[in-house]
Amino acid sequence: MAAGRGAVLLRPPESSGRATFLELFFDLAFVVALTRVSQRFAGLSNDTGWALAEGFGRTLLLFLALWLIWSHTAWITSRYEPEQPIIQAVVVGTMFASLVMAVTLPRAMEERAVPFAAAYLMVMLVRPLVVAVALRGHPRRLVPFRLAAWAAATAPLWLAGALGPDRLRLPLWAAALGVDYLAWALGWPLPRVGASRIGRWRIAGTHLADRYQQMVLIALGESILVLGTVFSGTDYSAQRAAAFAVAFATSALIWRIYFHRAGLLLTEALDRAGMPGRLGATSERTHLLIVLSVLVTSVGYELVIDDPYGPPRPSWLLFVIGGPMLFLVARVRLEHEIFGRVSRSRMVGLVALLLFTPALARWAPMVGLSVVAAVLALVSLLDARRSRGRSMEVSASPLAGEGPGDRDSEA
């Protein structure tokens, strides 16, 4: 009987695969968060050497903490019915905590560490307990209990990093976040209970794909916001106008390359999978890289538009060239997840950028951004040439072969 009462929270098979308006509202907090992440990255433009590496590492850690919150929420609304009041309350509470993390993020590694860590722990520790209690006697309650147990184990590291000396914050938080990600990858194993086999979870695959694609669009939207803000806030010149146009073309090409074939078929691949949990978990990591690459690239736009023909610096090479390279790596990975093959066009783009990088290190930022746009245009043209005259392929994911018989009791 208790399991029956808890079962009302589960997503029924006939539930819509589209994101609800509440989830789109929830994403607004991450619009703010991604903007703050970009601002922290942009603040590294004049750094070199160890200062650049440390600053990048600090900002990357904060982004990964935010991503973990967002991705866990996407999985919650893919496993549980988002129209249920308790799930809606969980999403709204997570949104508030995410907004706290977003507004404290610019100084989260400095004097605002305590509210950032407190908001993170509120989501990671309290939220799964609320879901577990709402599930009552249902077998799925063991999964959120696992999450809460692991969050409680890393909470002392988060609190020690927030309350302790500044020099210890980065290593303590890095260790805590590393454990949080490792626990997810392993299925949050506990003594006697074992691990939860994430690959066999029952999730709404269509919904999860929809959420990943929406986050990519949010990141691209943030890059467009950077374009408009930077260009409107600087003195007009023909050089800056040209940089603005090339940066916009780069974002448009990233959009085109992401959604070409594999990006469009992600929904179908997850929908066709007998048990989409394994593909969903792998795709989550791929989309983490894609969103990060778009953010890093958008910082490159800011640097180039601000000073198109300024002296070359290590920071602009990291953002202008490194971001698009990371995007192509992630897109190769997505192609393999959907079709089980390596994308030749994206490998051509990667090799081209690698070959150009030594020379671009000695040229002005505008030259580097122009080369990036040209390489991405080449990748897009190769994609178009390969698909010309062919019907849309059917996904053949090597990660989606599990059948319904593989389910476990707490899936």
Give 72-114 pLDDT, tens digit per residue: 999 999 888 888 899 999 999 999 999 999 999 999 999 999 9
Q: Smallest Cα–Cα separation from 303: which of 290, 320, 291, 288? A: 320
Q: Is residue 217 exposed (0-12), middle (13-18) or buried (19+ Cβ within 10 Å)? A: middle
Q: What is the pLDDT of residues 314-357, one digit of tens each?
A: 788 899 999 999 999 999 999 988 888 888 899 999 999 999 99
pLDDT score of 276:
79
**Location of each CATH 1.20.1410 domain in the chain:** 205-387
Reported as a pLDDT band with limits 50, 70 and 90, residue 66 is: very high
Q: What pTM did the predictor assign? A: 0.92
- Do residues 123 and 98 lie in contact, with contact meaning Cβ atoms separated by under 8 Å? yes
Highest mean pLDDT among 3-12, 140-149, 200-209: 140-149
CA angle 308, 310, 315 (to 5 degrees): 95
The pLDDT of 30-58, averaged and rounded, is 89
Helix (H) or strand (E) holding 49: helix 49-79
pLDDT score of 346:
92
Q: Answer yes or no: CATH 1.20.1410 is held by domain 205-387.
A: yes
Please say whether the dihedral angle defined by the alpha carbons of residues 360, 366, 367 and 373, taken in this order, is positive or negative: positive
Q: Identify residue 83 by its one-letter amino acid code.
A: E
Reported as a pLDDT band with limits 50, 70 and 90, residue 55 is: very high
Tokens of 302: 């800011």
